[in-house]
Amino acid sequence: MKNSAMVMQIQDPASQRLTWYKPPLTVLVIKKKDSQVLLPFVQLVEWLVQEKHMVVWVESAVLEDKLLRDDVKLEQESAKFRGVHEKFCGVRARFLALRDKLVTFKDGRDDLTDRIDFIVCLGGDGTLLYASQLFQQSVPPVMAFYLGSLGFLTPFQCDNFQEQVTNVLEGHAALTLRSRLRCVIHRKGERRKESLQQQQSALHIGLQKSNLHRHMNNVEFNSNNNGSPPSSNSILVLNEVVINRGPSPYLSNIDIFLDGKYITSVQGDGLIVSTPTGSTAYAAAAGASIIHPSVPAILVTPICPHSLSFRPIVVPAGVELKISISPDSRNTSRVSFDGRNDQELHHGDSLRVTTSIYPVPSICSQDQITDWFDSLAEGLHWNVRKRQKCLDELSDLTASGSEDKLDEFDYLKIYDE
């Protein structure tokens, strides 16, 4: 094209590489609640503290794990637990030697923003979702080890973790920037309050412009009023936000708006709004397309729609989706965020969904393409099928089959004689 301004710049996914602006000093280690993870967890923490001299953060609940404590009253526990407790005596001794060197936090109480340089997850995909939940703004690079059951988001194996973590700490790794969705619920009453505050703000600004505010010293205005509505609490999700009919026997009746324009209504069990990362989760079970996590998009997937033509759609990442309960809906709906924070949506409420500016930087084991297709092959057995035979093989089988028939015919002919 002659006009250079009209040329689209396509970014190569391979150009997304991990770069440390300063050596990482603090690492958050997240593990799943499973006794099978205790040994690799202790080995990793021990190595990070003693060999890499890093400050290791863990969840405070880890210190309360009975298998890692030596003050448990075993006489009050079952015989099975006592056997397991004895089995982990060596692991427990190694952990207790490190316990005082660990920094702990509690979800919902402590803010980890700007405190963590690096995250290591030990477990399944749920550990990465939990890490995403902990950081509702900028997320440190995440290295996820596969110790779960499926492992779409956990490309690393615990074998030889020392070499793999060292490579990452030295900056020798590719990244996948997994987009997240920013979800905000607007309640019916809150919208009226915001409208009133906006009117007061507009009045205040008008008074300032006309220099009449010096006569209005006795009038008080909300300190948040600066010409824009007050900020609402938002939730960032890595997989999906799900709106469903909950325990109601009636169909959900949900209206969908895109950038303020009415698109359609969902009459069915509900709706899934997901990221490309979430396309292999609930959305895949509901019939959505599988999308590479580097594609900037939002997936809109109906759940069991009462229609033969309602296909899942993909919309650009830059749009805003508004989802509300139809005025003539027989029931309310439930909404959940990555399977958590289940809430009820009433008539008049709305859910606004946009792509967040804070992705999750997921560290690749090999590269973006290889990791993703490996996860499809191992997790979903994608496109697994018995190979079709070539024509030469078929002709050989046909020929051998014809000769067998002729031999059988000759044998029967001799027998008749």
**pLDDT one-digit tens code per residue, 337-386:** 999 999 999 999 999 999 999 999 999 999 999 999 999 999 899 999 88
| Residues facing residue 365 across a β-bridge | none
Residue 329 pLDDT grade (very low, low, confident, very high; cuts 50, 70, 90):
very high
On whether both 140 and 266 belong to a single domain, the answer is no
Domain with 114 in it:
16-74+86-171
On whether both 145 and 274 belong to a single domain, the answer is no
221, pLDDT greater than 90: no
Indicate whether 243 belongs to any domain: yes
On whether both 269 and 164 belong to a single domain, the answer is no
- What integer pLDDT is reported at residue 350 of this predicted model? 95
* Cα(284)–Cα(287) distance, integer angstroms: 5
Find the mean pLDDT for residues 197-212: 47
130: left (phi over 0), alpha (psi -120 to 50) or beta: alpha
Find the mean pLDDT for residues 223-228: 34
226, pLDDT greater than 50: no
- What integer pLDDT is reported at residue 313 of this predicted model? 97
- What integer pLDDT is reported at residue 382 of this predicted model? 92
Residue 59 pLDDT grade (very low, low, confident, very high; cuts 50, 70, 90):
very high
> 233: how many CB neighbours lie within 10 A of its CB?
8
On whether both 26 and 99 belong to a single domain, the answer is yes
On whether both 332 and 261 belong to a single domain, the answer is yes
Residue 152 pLDDT grade (very low, low, confident, very high; cuts 50, 70, 90):
confident
Q: Where is the domain boundary, 340, 358, 376?
A: 358
On whether both 22 and 157 belong to a single domain, the answer is yes
400, pLDDT greater than 90: no
On whether both 263 and 345 belong to a single domain, the answer is yes
Structure tokens at 166: 């060292």
- What integer pLDDT is reported at residue 209 of this predicted model? 42
- What integer pLDDT is reported at residue 191 of this predicted model? 56
- What integer pLDDT is reported at residue 366 of this predicted model? 93
Find the mean pLDDT for residues 165-180: 94
- What integer pLDDT is reported at residue 349 of this predicted model? 93
On whether both 146 and 283 belong to a single domain, the answer is no
206, pLDDT greater than 90: no
Range from 48-62, 178-192, 228-242, 289-303 carrying the lowest mean pLDDT: 228-242
On whether both 161 and 253 belong to a single domain, the answer is no
- What integer pLDDT is reported at residue 233 of this predicted model? 81
Structure tokens at 139: 């997320």
- What integer pLDDT is reported at residue 70 of this predicted model? 87
Greater pLDDT, 216 or 191: 191
Indicate whether 42 belongs to any domain: yes
291, pLDDT greater than 60: yes
Where is 125: in which H helix or E strand?
A: helix 125-134
**CATH code where residue 162 lies:** 3.40.50.10330
By percentage, how much of the chain surpasses pLDDT 70? 83
Instruction: Return the closest-CA partner of residue 327 out of 306, 344, 348, 343.
Output: 348
* Cα(256)–Cα(370) distance, integer angstroms: 36
pLDDT in tens, 70-109: 888 888 888 898 898 899 999 999 999 999 999 999 988 8
Indicate whether 385 belongs to any domain: no
What phi and psi values does residue 350 have, to the nearest 5 degrees? -145, 155
- What integer pLDDT is reported at residue 105 of this predicted model? 93
* Cα(176)–Cα(371) distance, integer angstroms: 10
**CATH code where residue 273 lies:** 2.60.200.30
On whether both 163 and 245 belong to a single domain, the answer is no
Indicate whether 399 belongs to any domain: no
Asked whether 58 and 29 are in contact (CB, 8 A), the reply is: yes
pTM of the model: 0.81
- What integer pLDDT is reported at residue 82 of this predicted model? 87
Indicate whether 395 belongs to any domain: no
Structure tokens at 309: 């033509």
194, pLDDT greater than 80: no
Question: What DSSP string describes 267-333?
Answer: EESEEEEE-SGGGGTHHHHTTPPP--TTS-EEEEEEES-S-SS---EEEETT--EEEEE-TT-SS-E
* Cα(265)–Cα(361) distance, integer angstroms: 34
Indicate whether 393 belongs to any domain: no
- What integer pLDDT is reported at residue 108 of this predicted model? 81
On whether both 248 and 117 belong to a single domain, the answer is no
Range from 30-34, 105-109, 130-134, 168-172 carrying the lowest mean pLDDT: 105-109
Indicate whether 283 belongs to any domain: yes
On whether both 30 and 160 belong to a single domain, the answer is yes
Parallel, antiparallel or unpaired: strands 270-274 and 240-244: antiparallel
* Cα(187)–Cα(352) distance, integer angstroms: 11
Q: What is the three-class DSSP state of 200?
A: helix
- What integer pLDDT is reported at residue 399 of this predicted model? 64
- What integer pLDDT is reported at residue 218 of this predicted model? 37
- What integer pLDDT is reported at residue 225 of this predicted model? 34
Indicate whether 36 belongs to any domain: yes
Structure tokens at 94: 């190694």
By percentage, how much of the chain surpasses pLDDT 90? 66
pLDDT in tens, 1-41: 456 567 777 877 778 899 999 999 999 999 999 889 999 99
403, pLDDT greater than 70: no
User: How many structural domains does the chain have?
Assistant: 2
